[in-house]
Amino acid sequence: MEIFSYLHLSFIFFIALFIFPHPWNHVNKQGFTVHAEFGSVLETKVSKPNIDLLTASPLHPLDPLTVTEINAVRAILSSYAPFSWTFPAIHSLSLDEPEKAQVLEWKIGDPLPRRKAQVIVLLSGQTHVLVVDLGLGLVTSHVSNPGSGYPLLTAEDISVALQVAQSNEEFQRSIMACGVEFSDLSCGTPSAGWFGPNEEGRRVVKVQCFSTQGTPNFYMRPIEGLTLTVDIDNREVVKITDTGRGIPVPNSLNTDYRYAAQEKAPEMEPINPISMEQPNGPSYRIEQGHIVKWANWEFHLKPDQRAGLIISRAMVRDSETGEPRSVMYKGFASELFVPYMDPDESWYFKSYMDEGEFGLGVTAISLVPLNDCPRYSYYIDGLFVSSDGSPYVRPNIICVFERYAGDISWRHSELNNFQITESRPKVTLVARMAASVGNYDYIFDWEFQTDGLIRVKVGLSGMLMVKGTPRENMYQVPRKNDMSGPLVSENVIGVVHDHFVTFHLDMDIDGTDNSFVEVNLVKEETYPGQSPRKSYLKAKRRAAKSEDEARIKLNIYDPSEFHLVNPSKMSRLGNPSGYKVIPGGNAASLLDLNDPPQIRGAFTNNQIWVTQYNSTEQWAGGLLVYQSKGEDTLDVWSKRNRDIENKDIVLWYTLGFHHIPCQEDFPVMPTVTSSFELKPVNFFESNPILRAKPNFETDLPVCWPAHA
Amino acid sequence: MEIFSYLHLSFIFFIALFIFPHPWNHVNKQGFTVHAEFGSVLETKVSKPNIDLLTASPLHPLDPLTVTEINAVRAILSSYAPFSWTFPAIHSLSLDEPEKAQVLEWKIGDPLPRRKAQVIVLLSGQTHVLVVDLGLGLVTSHVSNPGSGYPLLTAEDISVALQVAQSNEEFQRSIMACGVEFSDLSCGTPSAGWFGPNEEGRRVVKVQCFSTQGTPNFYMRPIEGLTLTVDIDNREVVKITDTGRGIPVPNSLNTDYRYAAQEKAPEMEPINPISMEQPNGPSYRIEQGHIVKWANWEFHLKPDQRAGLIISRAMVRDSETGEPRSVMYKGFASELFVPYMDPDESWYFKSYMDEGEFGLGVTAISLVPLNDCPRYSYYIDGLFVSSDGSPYVRPNIICVFERYAGDISWRHSELNNFQITESRPKVTLVARMAASVGNYDYIFDWEFQTDGLIRVKVGLSGMLMVKGTPRENMYQVPRKNDMSGPLVSENVIGVVHDHFVTFHLDMDIDGTDNSFVEVNLVKEETYPGQSPRKSYLKAKRRAAKSEDEARIKLNIYDPSEFHLVNPSKMSRLGNPSGYKVIPGGNAASLLDLNDPPQIRGAFTNNQIWVTQYNSTEQWAGGLLVYQSKGEDTLDVWSKRNRDIENKDIVLWYTLGFHHIPCQEDFPVMPTVTSSFELKPVNFFESNPILRAKPNFETDLPVCWPAHA
């Protein structure tokens, strides 16, 4: 939710910045930063790409920029005239993907389309969006201040904010007044949102602090009410408020969640070792570092600084011809919106857009083998760029694994003369990443089934963002049936909040030109004498002609199926080839449409949207989200009301969670998961896994206990 | 959905009844029928209770009736005066559970509360509901015709219906006219519903037929439009309609789903063996045949003729004291409602209530080891009663297994000075059963997590109920955007339908007296000058006082959490101990409230209901569902509007699915799954799995390929 960084005031100049290259990383001779791995669990051997990131070349048009390419971009920018006096701060540097047509035409063996980088920089408080053409060695596009917002915050921004804060005398007095030692101080930089003219037109960030005394779980020890608003570019404290008088820092008891710190076993019978075992090895192959092939699926998978994980060119084999068929050109989490429900001075601004403000790839930390991902997982590193333009590696931020959970992919039994007991086990492929955006952990799973279904799951774990209170128990709470935050521990309120994850799903069913068909289930009344039944349902299909016909608010009493179909690709029966999006549990934003956070988060005004494809419309909250006024959101694009029938279109789906915290969420939250599915509908001529093989005893592994 | 049975007209007197004891079963010397197992996959060795069902005694007050007890009931009924002339047909015979207070008081070592059976019989078209006291050896309660409905259909009912049908000359002429050989004929007995005075007051059933020529998947070969209404008790055809002229029987091409019948491999790379392995054995224990103990959970598990699987006395250990604490007294699927959406003469009546009409336990067929359930599963047999009152065994209809799917139970990482990468694998326990109710397969999973969460999942697979049509493709369909059934194969329509599964969840959180608290999230507007925010959410808690305050229709724009709390059991902070029900994907019935099927299925009028506990209110559609007029449903009980605050209360949750078929559902459907969760909320003082152990490489098994 929030990016916290360490501010050890006792070491004035030592700022440990956990989301960016760290002091304990080493820099090798190529000027290339590699994060050190640490911790015993991480010492498990993991499967990795057989690629030397230092020398690798791009092999696919969508492959991320390589070290060589990143260094070339930096060199080109260094000699670019507008930056000749001062090298700007690099806030984002990633592949500027080739046009879709070029990617679709490209085949293995073809030369790659010309490689380009999109670079977003800040110089003297001004934002510049550049395209660097690596073939030409030139900046080919340069737009200054294209919107009200600013790019992702960098390590340096956070460092500046903390330095400015710590040297503020009023801040120092407040810290002393609340009795926290400077050496126990940990400060974070929640983003500032945008709330009208008072703080707009300059990059401000909030600074709030915690005590690390007695626990690494400082999130549970807020120094409530002390908030500094810092202007990053002018290096000044704009405002300091302290509304926390009388609120103690909650104590550290039972907050440490590290295994090594636990003194006794949990109150339960121990669980014997259990593991998904594949002694013949996994069935997936990962070719050229990014192409995943498994069963009837093939897709391109890459880490991304902002999106975390991007799936591209997902294709499934036709169940009759074996030919690969296009399902999805590109799918990724496009933006997160996390509004907290507290209007107080030190809380109102907490309406995070974690992707556009911090980046999911940048905040992803190495996955923990055997715990975050099972055995036989394959790990992929992220290659990102520091604010000085130098590349660095974040190891093992994506894992790919095969999953067998004892589920059934189809079955039928007949206890008749046919004596049928047919059942097929379900094995799937998962691509996973987990971002630790400050306190919260977001786990993203893309799960592929052999029947053509794609399940997108979001899991939430990590720490609550809590609020200090003088109250130790509910008996001291005056209006306990009417709260924005229940008590989750003594002096600790878990503030009610929402999470919305908006996915960009550029479905290309058998080609780019698709239609969005709403199949509405409508009650029909029978006419007198027609039937003993009074009513029944009909499925009424309607293709949306323009974007305004494709803004969907889910309603259990006005249900529809939502199909993406290719109207030019008919099954042998004349049904259009399609996929449908199947919502699971979901939640909608209830904020006032004119509330500043909701204006910026207007992409959550509907659960489903369909827009005409436009390569610049990738980020649902806008390219420049930080402090933006919401003029570049999905809501704004959709209002252009473009034609979407039989066009290249993009489906947007928002997965929402309301979170009313409870004591079980303290001091670390059991994972809460929700998901949605993309499922073939008349895409295949018939059940594509009819001929799947059952499990036979003789095929399964032979296992011994580790200590046998 | 429907119970199909075989009617081989070439063997006039050979009626194979697949849901009841079969000709190929053998009867042992104790007069006790044991079904033969068949099929190579079933030959896998499975873990079973170490109990001789023939001689077993009941060990727990909730244990199902034993063979000895069933035989005793039969003997008591044989000498019961009202049945001295004719022994009635036994439609249901199962444990009449002791009063809750008796069960709660009982401890291991205590004598069992007096054992009683509830028996529902039919004699001369009259229904009798009896209680037989096994201690007294007497019938202690006898109620005749307590409602408009009739009990579950028996094998004999179906046999009679088919015999009556096959000897009907008009039926024989119709079959000959449509060109189906009598030897290829398979007929089913869809239930008749209730549609007003024309067919009420007598037990009628519908008979419809299929061709088995060339396929065991006769469901895909309907003889469309030929429908016989048979009065079972009077053994006469009440009505015969044939609206199928000009509709061919769809051909058998590509309908056979048996593995042995497949001629080629699926169009995909083969998947290497993958298995959940536990070389030290599973961690669960099953004591006395029915008590499941695992990690911090303990519950009683039993098969049931009607409910399929019943979980009772579910208790989880307190995470601080280790004491077992009550969560749920009893949980089970109470009724299914499956209305089809076609008002035609041969379809209007298809509005199945599979539990009350046929029984989920009776229609459960042996699970297929390694495919329906993973290795290390433990299997439990069902002991049911034939219509002559004799017991028979249905082997392996429930399995229990531990599940590790590569999921994360909680995690957090910090790339700061603390260098934290903590993650815990999720291992759960699953109790599963699968009912093959004619064409459809329902998979029920009760999944228990160590964090206290219970997930209830329903999976749908098996065959569509299809309708014949002269149309071979969509180009021949006149109103293709306005249909109650899309074409799923040549001449085959998949009729739109719904599935609703209503669960009885007698939650007893730390005791019997609980309250239902709706925690409604409501938008609050800030007052001028209060905050830069215009709006935020508050959580408004309201305990429902009476049943009418606890009828909930889900609405994404008026969201609530739904808590069951014990207002007398407070956490140390003063939060009441509770569980919440968390809906996942769901669907509501849209039928007219006055449509006869919806009157009977009125328990689906809301997604959530809470009623005062009443031991007679177990079956949401009524005790006697068959052809009932809906006077004994959850809707009727709830309208009594009893007090439910701080009372013994029952939560009812309905899981719904709309199913618009597509070609992928032909000839067998890939499993569709939906679920809901019961989750602790301030039940534990803090995260109960904080101290859980991570996976270490050295604990995991060492495996070799089977053929290595």
Q: Is B329 a catalytic residue?
A: no
How far is the alpha carbon of B325 from chain A, nearest alpha carbon, in Å?
12
Q: What is the pLDDT confidence band of residue A1, given thresholds at 50, 70 and 90? A: very low
The stretch B296-324 carries a mean pLDDT of 98
Q: Report CA Rg, chain A.
A: 26
Same domain, B215 and B137: no
A265: closest chain B residue by CA: B691
Query: Which residues from B are below 8 Å from A402, CB to CB?
Result: 271, 274
- Same domain? For A522 and A435 the reply is yes
pLDDT exceeds cutoff 50 at A349:
yes
Which positions in chain A touch B696 (Cβ < 8 Å)?
41, 370
Give the mutation candidate from A422, A488, A553 for the B interface (greatest B CB count, under 10 A).
A422
Q: How far apart are CA A224 and CA A244, in angstroms?
A: 5
* Confidence class for position B45, pLDDT limits 50, 70, 90: low
Residue of A392, A440, A442, A579 marked active site: A440
Of B144, B162, B197, which residue constitutes the final position of a domain? B144
Q: What ipTM did this prediction achieve? A: 0.94
What residues contact A542, with CB distance under 8 A and at least 6 apart? Answer: A517, A518, A520, A549, B481
Closest-CA distance of chain A to residue B688, Å: 7
User: Between chains, do A671 and B410 touch, taking CB under 8 Å as contact?
Assistant: yes
- Give the angle subtended at the CA of A538 by the CAs of A536 and A539, to the nearest 5°: 150
With respect to residue B475, please indicate whether it lies within any of the assigned structural domains: yes
Same domain, A188 and A312: no
Closest CB to A532 among B270, B401, B596: B596
Q: Are A460 and A444 in contact (CB under 8 A)?
A: no
B501 and B640 inside one domain: yes
The beta-carbon neighbor of B22 closest among A264, A415, A531 is A415
| pLDDT tens-place string over residues A204-260 | 999 999 999 999 999 999 999 999 999 999 999 999 999 999 999 999 999 999 999
Min distance B613 CA to chain A CA atoms (Å) = 26
Which position among A63, A184, A354, A508 bears the catalytic label?
A: A354
Interface contact flag, B540 A41, Cβ < 8 Å: no
Q: Which residues of A touch B575 (CB under 8 A)?
A: 474, 486-487, 662-663
Q: Is A408's CB within 8 Å of B534's CB?
A: no
The domain that holds B301 is classified in CATH as 2.70.98.20
Q: For B102-159, write each residue's pLDDT tens digit.
A: 999 999 999 999 999 999 999 999 999 999 999 999 999 999 999 999 999 998 999 9
| Marked catalytic residue, from B150, B352, B376, B440 | B440
Residue A453: burial class (beta carbons within 10 Å; 0-12, 13-18, 19+): buried
Please answer whether residues A459 and A440 qualify as being in contact, where contact means their C-beta atoms are separated by less than 8 angstroms: no
Closest chain A CA to residue B282: A272
Partner-chain residue, chosen from B294, B405, B533, that has the shortest CB–CB distance to A595? B533
Structural domains of chain B, count: 3
Question: Cβ of A662 and B681 within 8 Å?
Answer: yes
First to last CA, chain A: 45
Nearest to A663 among B481, B686, B693 (CB): B686
Q: Does A489 sit within 8 Å of B686, measured CB to CB? A: yes
| CATH code, A237 | 3.10.450.40
Task: Report how many Cβ contacts below 8 Å link chain A to chain B.
Answer: 684
Of the residues B244, B261, B278, which one is the last residue of a structural domain?
Answer: B261
The tokens of A670 are what?
């059991």
Contact flag B531-A348 (C-beta cutoff 8 Å): yes
Centre a 10 Å sphere on the Cβ of residue A418 and count the other Cβ atoms it contains: 18
Retrieve residue A108's tokens: 């293995």
Q: How confident is the model at residue B50 (pLDDT cuts 50, 70, 90)?
A: low
Residue A452 sits in the same domain as residue A580: yes
Instruction: Select from B101, B124, B144 the last residue of a domain.
Output: B144
pLDDT of residue A42 exceeding 70: no
| Residue A598 domain flag | yes
What's the CA gap between B122 and B129, in Å, rounded?
9
pLDDT bin (cut points 50, 70, 90) of residue B44 is low
Helix (H, G, I), strand (E, B) or coil at A436: strand
Summarize the confidence of residues B64-83 as an average pLDDT: 97
Indicate if A376 belongs to the active site. no
How close A144 comes to chain B (CA, Å)?
Answer: 29
Q: At what angle do helices A169-177 and A155-166 cross, to 10 degrees?
A: 70
Are A667 and A565 part of one and the same domain? yes
Does A57 map to a domain?
no
Look at B276 and A281 and tell me if their CB atoms are within 8 Å: no
- Under the banding of pLDDT at 50, 70 and 90, the label for residue B53 is confident
The pLDDT of B37-60, averaged and rounded, is 66
Using the predicted structure, report yes or no on whether residue B539 has a pLDDT greater than 70. Answer: yes
Burial class (CB in 10 A: 0-12, 13-18, 19+), B399: buried
| Residue of chain A nearest B538, judged by CA positions | A484
**Average of per-residue pLDDT across A385-396:** 96
Shortest CA distance to B152 belongs to which of B93, B100, B81, B239? B93
| Closest by Cβ to B423, choosing from A372, A487, A572 | A372
Burial of residue A218 (number of CB atoms within 10 Å: 0-12, 13-18, 19+): buried
Would you say residue A519 lies in a domain?
yes
Report residue B391: phi and psi, to 5°.
-75, 150
Q: What CA–CA distance (Å, rounded) separates B259 from B266?
A: 11
Cβ contact, residue pair B687, A664, below 8 Å: yes
Distance from CA of A275 to the nearest CA of B (A): 5
Q: What is the pLDDT of residues A359-384, one digit of tens each?
A: 999 999 999 999 999 999 999 999 99
Residue A183 lies in a domain: yes
Q: How far is B501 from chain A (nearest CA, A)?
A: 16
Residue B441 lies in a domain: yes
Specify whether the CB–CB gap between A342 and A348 falls below 8 A: yes
Mean pLDDT, chain B, rounded, equals: 92
Query: Span B654-667, mean pLDDT?
Result: 98
Are B559 and B587 in the same domain?
yes
Q: How far is B133 from chain A (nearest CA, A)?
A: 34
d(CA B356, CA B305): 10
The predicted model gives B42-46 an average pLDDT of 55
Percent of chain A whose predicted confidence (pLDDT) is above 70: 93
Cis peptide before B688 (omega within 30 of 0): no
Residue B10: per-residue pLDDT: 29
Ranges A516-525, B34-43, B325-334, B607-616: which has the least confidence: B34-43
Which of A360, A520, A537, A684 is the best mutation test for B, with the most CBs of B within 10 A? Answer: A537
Catalytic residue among B157, B354, B445, B498: B354
pLDDT single digits (tens) A75-109: 999 999 999 899 999 999 999 999 999 999 999 99
- Which position has the token pair 């092939």? A293
Q: Are residues B396 and B508 in the same domain?
A: yes
Contact A480 B541 (CB under 8 A): yes
For A258-262, B26-30, B49-53, which range has the lowest pLDDT when averaged over its residues?
B26-30
The pLDDT assigned to B480 comes to 83
**B255 in the same domain as B172:** yes
Q: How confident is the model at residue A50 (pLDDT cuts 50, 70, 90)?
A: low
CB–CB contact A372 B272 (8 Å): no
For residue A587, which residues of chain B lie inside 8 Å, CB to CB? Answer: 556, 559
Please give, rounded to a whole number of angstroms, the shortest distance from the CA of A384 to a CA of chain B.
16
Same domain, yes or no: B125 and B255: no
Residue B348 placed within a domain: no
Q: Is A584's CB within 8 Å of B588's CB?
A: no
Residue A4 has pLDDT above 50, yes or no: no
CB contact under 8 A, A462 and B689: no
Nearest CA in chain B to A3: B414
Shared domain for A638 and A490, answered yes or no, is yes
Q: Which tens digits make up the pLDDT trace of A124-157?
A: 999 999 999 999 999 999 999 999 999 999 989 9
**Cβ pair B268:A450 closer than 8 A:** yes
* CA separation for the pair B224, B246 (Å, rounded): 10
Q: Supply the pLDDT for residue B19.
A: 33
Same domain for B490 and B586, yes or no, is: yes
> At residue B685, does pLDDT exceed 90?
yes
User: Are B410 and A670 within 8 A, CB to CB?
Assistant: yes
Residue A658 lies in a domain: yes
Report percent pLDDT > 70 for chain B.
Answer: 93
pLDDT at A480: 83
Compute the mean pLDDT over every residue in chain A, rounded to the nearest whole number.
92
What range does the domain containing B193 cover? 4-12+154-261
